[in-house]
Amino acid sequence: MFLRLVADSFTRRPKRKMLTLAALALGMAVATAALSVSLDVGDRLAQEFRSLGANLLVTPEADSLPLEIGGVDYRPANAGAYLPEADLGKLKTIFWRHNIKAFAPILEAPVLVSKAGSDPRNEKVELIGTWVNHDVRIPDGTVYTTGVEKTNPWWHVDGRWFAENTNEVVIGANLAKRANLGIGSQIVLSSDKPGFDTPWFAKVVGILSSGGTEDGTVLASLKDAQDFAGKPGQYRRLYVSALTKPEDAFGRKDPKTMTPAEFDRWYCSPYISSIALQISEELKGTDVRVIRRVAEGEGTILTRVRTLLWLVTLAALLAAALAVGASAAASVIERRTEIGLMKALGAGSGLVGVLLAAEQLLVAFVGGGIGYAVGILLARLLGEKIFGFTPEPKLFLLFIVLVLASLITLLGSAYPLRRASQYDPAPILRGE
């Protein structure tokens, strides 16, 4: 009998029911779209932020040790500490190894450069050795391909990058202009160090424009730079590009002050600081620093985007609650006589309230289901047009939307339903 009354009430006054369903479905559609995008936008933007380049810098730990005498820092600018190239495969063995998207070692060596076949006018420049599409063997037997074009994506090369194990180089735009060099030019590189005076003939295959000091250098494979520097199998610093989550107040805590439970939670979260610690644990004798300008910029943008989406969701829910409340109030006023008759026939205030609440919940489930379907389509449109990705439908989100619709409906109609349950049937039946 109770279910029949609820179903019968739902089918009556179709215009008002359709208005309530439309308001609720619209609010739930906006909430569904915002939640769908918000759940996926973090990973998508994190991927896009990797175009900003590396966010971690690895250097020898000895370089970070101060050497002061009488308040004067006697540590040379180019301290002589180096790191073994053979350990770099360990980067893909840390807990967050899949978040390590690229890394590239760097080694500089001073060289003398001149144009082949011309008058010998040697110019002293820096030779930067690094990786380009380099295959790194991981301790588990797999191979990972990485290089500087992934850690420094803003470096623009006219022509192409050099191939490893060839006599090919890329030169900076300023050096090319100053020395009248171009793609296809032959250059001669030599060292002024004793024992390293054998000239090396190389072909220019690309012109680098970075906007930095690299525009006045020569770039070659790490092996070539090691030969010139006399440091076989070593590098000077390492740039790492890692996917991270924005650091909140907990992520910025000092790990030394954490309890064991807090440390485990921090260590198992992809904060930039926790990934830095894991890298330093694998690469012994290193100092891993966060490139704050990149990392903090990513976190700020992600936080603001997510905050905006949550505000849109709250606004949509508030609008839906107001619309449902207005509709419920009007419905209760129209049904005063019906409510008075039910109470005159013996229905208690609790039964009347439950009956009206059940009708509102039925509206909530129908409106929430429609809103979820429309919201998924809206999320796909927003994702493709604004963020460049298509959010995947999530079944658990349907449950969340139905719960939200029920709560919004009950909260919005709580006051009208309370008034309806307290009606005195006698004045109503007398037409007062």
Phi-psi region of 187 (alpha: psi -120 to 50; beta: other; left: phi over 0): beta
Whether the CB-CB separation of 99 and 244 falls below 8 Å is answered with yes
Using the predicted structure, report yes or no on whether residue 298 has a pLDDT greater than 90: no
Residue 159 has pLDDT above 90, yes or no: yes
Looking up tokens 């008759």 gives 341
Residue 117 φ/ψ region, left for φ over 0, alpha for ψ in the -120 to 50 degree band, beta for the rest: left
Per-residue confidence (pLDDT) for residue 320, from 0 to 100? 80
Distance of CA 287 to the CA centre of its chain: 25
The larger pLDDT score, comparing residue 152 to residue 77, is at 152
The pLDDT, as a whole number, for residue 64 is 60
Most confident among 259-268, 285-294, 349-358 (mean pLDDT): 259-268
pLDDT of residue 68: 47
Could you give the 3-state DSSP secondary structure of residue 189? strand
Query: Phi and psi dihedrals of 370, rounded to 5?
Result: -65, -45
Higher pLDDT, 364 or 355: 364
Q: What mean pLDDT is reported for the chain?
A: 79
- Residue extents of the structural domains in the chain: 2-47+299-429, 55-290
pLDDT band at 337 (very low <50, low <70, confident <90, very high): low
- In which band, very low, low, confident or very high, does the pLDDT at 174 lie, cut at 50, 70 and 90? very high
Residue 133 reports pLDDT greater than 50 = yes
Helix residue ranges per DSSP H, 335-386: 336-344, 349-382
How confident is the model over 175-200, as pLDDT tens digits?
A: 999 888 999 999 998 887 766 667 88
Taking the C-alpha atoms of residue 173 and residue 157, their distance in angstroms, rounded to an integer, is 9
Residue 234's φ and ψ, nearest 5 degrees, are -130, 160
Q: 395 vs 77, which has greater pLDDT?
A: 395
Residue with tokens 């053979």: 86
pLDDT above 70: percentage of residues in the chain: 73
pLDDT class of 383 with cuts at 50, 70, 90: confident
Mean predicted confidence (pLDDT) in 405-414: 78
Which residue from 97, 184, 183, 110 is spatially nearest to 146, judged by alpha carbons? Answer: 97
Pairing of strands 168-172, 200-209: parallel
Would you place residue 71 in the very low, low, confident or very high pLDDT band (cuts 50, 70, 90)? very low
- pLDDT-based confidence at 15, cuts 50/70/90? low
Look at residue 209 and tell me whether its pLDDT is greater than 80.
yes
Alpha-carbon distances, residue 199 vs 70, 195, 233 (angstroms): 44, 11, 21
Residues 6+ apart with CB under 8 A from 372: 28, 29, 32, 397, 398, 401, 402
Tell me the pLDDT band of 252, cut-offs 50, 70 and 90.
Answer: confident
Q: Are strands 72-73 and 168-172 parallel, antiparallel or unpaired?
A: unpaired
Which comes out higher in pLDDT, residue 316 or 71?
316
> In b/e form, how buried is each residue of 319-346, taking b as 16+ CB within 10 angstroms?
ebbebbbbbbbebbeebeeebbebbeee
Residue 234 has pLDDT above 70, yes or no: yes
The pLDDT value recorded for residue 362 is: 78
Handedness of CA 333, 335, 338, 343 (dihedral sign): negative
**Where does the pLDDT of residue 107 fall: very low under 50, low under 70, confident under 90, or very high at 90 and above?**
very high
pLDDT at 77: 45
Higher pLDDT, 155 or 420: 155
